[in-house]
Structure 1
Amino acid sequence: MDGLLRCTDQKQLSEWIGRECHFRLLYKITRDGGSSEKFHELCDNKGPTVTIFYNTGSNVYGGYLSERWSCSGVWATDQNAFLFKLYTAANWMPKIFHYIKGKGNNYYKDLKCGPCFQNLLSFENSVVFNKTRSCFPLKTSNLLNGSHFDMGEETGFSVANGHNNVTDLEVYLVKDGPFVEEAWRESPEWNLQACQELKENIIRHEPFEEANVPESNILLVGQVDAGKSSFLNTINSIFKGKISSRSCSGSTENSLTKSFGKFHIRDPTSKKRLKFSICDTRGIEVELSIKDEDIGFTLDGNLPNHYTFNPFEKASTKVPGFVKDPTLKDRMHVVVFVIDGSTLDVLPEIIIKKLKYIKALAEDRGIPQLVFLTKMDKICEHVKKDISNMFTSEIVEGAVNKAANIIAIPRSHVFPVKNYEKKTKLHTNLDIVALGALYQALVFADDFLENQCDVKQGGTGELNTKD
């Protein structure tokens, strides 16, 4: 969806509209520009819409129109239209402002105007971003003055701080039902057979043969409380057949994972280790975070298993067990960024910078990267009810697109997942999503190993694969 509208916002708007709805982003001023012609090109004759204003005071407000926008050049009346607020100074304070019956025309449809309600105008012809004020300065005439919509005790000052300077403006198409007509990504078969096939494919996995390595190394990195350890526990639980907790996990201000750990999963039948390791790392924090040098050592395979990351001091070659001459089997073969999908809008810049730094280090080494986007049930009520809705949810699609933009990675490399955190029994659909993400990581690891072998055979570089 790529918009700023959250699941909670959509649920509230659906309640006010009076039916379950989903919202498809049509127009976004920061993406499409502040042109009234562009607004009408994207929004006219589509159906009911919701217009959202995000102003510089962290206030979120807007208007609902049950009629269609057009360029007819007249004021008109929509008996079902209403104005509303969702947030005041970033605090959730939803309130609806109903149209006052008999007050006449309450919205304007004209080519020269953007979305325009009585008491809530936007812009005429065009508006440009004011770099000095960091906003789009929209019209304030009769701003939320209650002449056509019942504001109760609210005013333009209480709702919008008396101004209409916005960081963004969005228009959404309102459609009945929770989902898009077609899946935004190929959806797996949601049954026990599909789950078993995925498990068997992973059990049969062998690292690229010519690489001569015993296992594929998957490195998990991400912010504190994103779900790295929970993903590891989820995979272990799936193969163990019951909820397990191999790695410490939970919600905490600082990282629960303090050391570098290589975890192995066992075949439930043979009890033998599967031929991959999932490597957990200290969570990335705003203040106490893994050192840049430690990241490089981790990618290159220098750090021994159980090495404790020190947020105040970087690792050195004097670390006990330090691998001075790592071979291909010691190195990381794929990097997985584990990101909390419910925090994408508030992800600190310092965290984003660290993630991008890790990505750059991986790219320098030719290591492929994926993103596992966790906690999808927190941002989408429909996924919370049934995880098989994952690939038809517009909210999840929007989160995937946003994560891809943040990390600068193809959208096809971002996998929404849900971990076992609250559940006490295994669920087939959750298993399918997690196993599908893991399997793709193994495919990417094989790509890396094959590339390394090609480099060696082509004589353009050296590979040390001796064990």
Structure 2
Amino acid sequence: MAGESSKAASPPLLDKPWREINWRQTALQDVNNYRPFVEGQQIRILLYGPLGGGRTSFIYSVQSTLRGRMCVSSLDDDIFGGCFIKGYTTYKVIKRSPETFHPFVLNDISQDRGVLMDDIKLVFKGHVKDGYKFNPESKLSAGDPFYNEAPTANDRVHVLVCVVPADKLPCMKAEVKKKIRDVRVEASRLGIPQVAVLTKVDMACPEVKKDLKNVYRSKYLKEKMEQFSADVGIPMNCIFPVKNYNEEINLNEDVDSLILSALKHIIDFGDNCINRRIHNV
């Protein structure tokens, strides 16, 4: 009979998580305790990726998690079809004590706004000043008020983070993947490590929506991460699934844990980049 020959559907979750992480407190302590090798040095983290990927929400979520309270975001958002023009901006992350900041900053660059590869290279090297609005028709040139003639070590990018929505991975266009690869290759040439953050994991998998702790037990998410890794060349151990804060009004330990796990590794990669440059290795 047909019923006898049919197989039971494979369970959506693995028996055990395929990756172990520190759930919140340990990772929070690691991030709070980070100090650069050189006094005054800061890690510059550059975010890029497709429109609607969650870069703005990721910055907002990092700020909220590290401050221990929901932060009201004044960041320009990916809304109205991308018609809100945003300049190149550095976002500092304040500590819980007033007037003190973590020794890392985040910058945002959107590949959907027609940013030229020549301008991305300038960003990597620290030649682009805050407030510059990228022109898809012409690159930033020396002599422009927004061109930084003499970038310092802090102006240069130390880690590149590709932010993409996990729920859109199955329908991601080939040209988007190619742009991600192209940007990654340019970063590699300059010795800049690359990381991917997959947002909206709760929207991608029902089991994760039920319980965020299932994120590393979901067979579906693991398969999509493996395919994305193969498509763009970012290794699996450099890809981190997260859920950004969006409609929540209170912090959630599981959300914090994934944000902190990703952030800790981003900081580690950036710190390694700084140390290599200092010691020329």
Q: Indicate the TM-score class for this superposition, using the shorter chain for normalisation.
A: over 0.9
**1:366-445 to 2 correspondence within 5 Å?**
366-445=191-270
Which residue matches 1:183? Answer: 17
Q: Distance in 2 between matches of 1:443 and 1:173?
A: 43
Q: Distance in 1 between matches of 2:84 and 2:114?
A: 12
Which residue matches 1:27? Answer: none
The 1:175/1:351 distance shift into structure 2, 3 A limit, reads closer
Deviation at 1:317, TM superposition (A): 1.4
Which residue matches 1:253? Answer: 81
Aligned partners of 2:229 and 2:235 also within 8 Å: yes
Per-residue deviation, residues 392-440 of structure 1 (Å, max 9, x unmatched) = 1111111211221122121010000111112222111101100110111
Deviation at 1:454, TM superposition (A): 2.3
Which residue matches 2:25? Answer: 196
SS of 1:274's partner is: strand
Gaps of 5+ in 2: none
Which residue matches 1:218? Answer: 45
Larger radius of gyration: 1
The count of aligned residue pairs is 280
Q: Which has the higher strand share?
A: 1
The 1:187/1:215 distance shift into structure 2, 3 A limit, reads closer
Deviation at 1:198, TM superposition (A): 2.2
Q: Find the partner of 1:206 among 35, 43, 62.
A: 35
Output the aligned Cα RMSD. Answer: 2.0
Q: Which moved more, 1:362-371 or 1:350-359?
A: 350-359
Q: Distance in 1 between matches of 2:266 and 2:80?
A: 27
Deviation at 1:373, TM superposition (A): 0.7
**1:277-356 to 2 correspondence within 5 Å?**
277-281=105-109, 283-285=110-112, 288-356=113-181
The 1:354/1:79 distance shift into structure 2, 3 A limit, reads closer
Q: Which TM-score applies when normalising by structure 1?
A: 0.57
Deviation at 1:251, TM superposition (A): 4.4
Which residue matches 2:189? Answer: 364
Deviation at 1:256, TM superposition (A): 4.3
Q: Distance in 2 between matches of 1:196 and 1:315?
A: 43
Deviation at 1:225, TM superposition (A): 0.5
Aligned partners of 1:219 and 1:279 also within 8 Å: yes
Which residue matches 1:17? Answer: none
Deviation at 1:185, TM superposition (A): 1.0
**Residue 3 of structure 2 corresponds to residue 79 of structure 1:** yes
Aligned partners of 1:236 and 1:246 also within 8 Å: no
Q: What letter corresponds to residue 22 of structure 2 in structure 1?
A: P
The 1:321/1:312 distance shift into structure 2, 3 A limit, reads closer
Give identity over the alignment, percent.
25
Q: Distance in 2 between matches of 1:405 and 1:252?
A: 32
Q: Distance in 2 between matches of 1:256 and 1:372?
A: 23
Q: What letter corresponds to residue 409 of structure 1 in structure 2?
A: I
The 1:174/1:390 distance shift into structure 2, 3 A limit, reads same
Q: What letter corresponds to residue 221 of structure 1 in structure 2?
A: Y
Q: What letter corresponds to residue 78 of structure 1 in structure 2?
A: A
| RCO comparison, higher one (Cα < 8 Å, 6+) | 2
Q: Which TM-score applies when normalising by structure 2?
A: 0.92
Gaps of 5+ in 1: 1-76, 83-171, 190-194, 459-467
**Residue 9 of structure 2 corresponds to residue 174 of structure 1:** yes
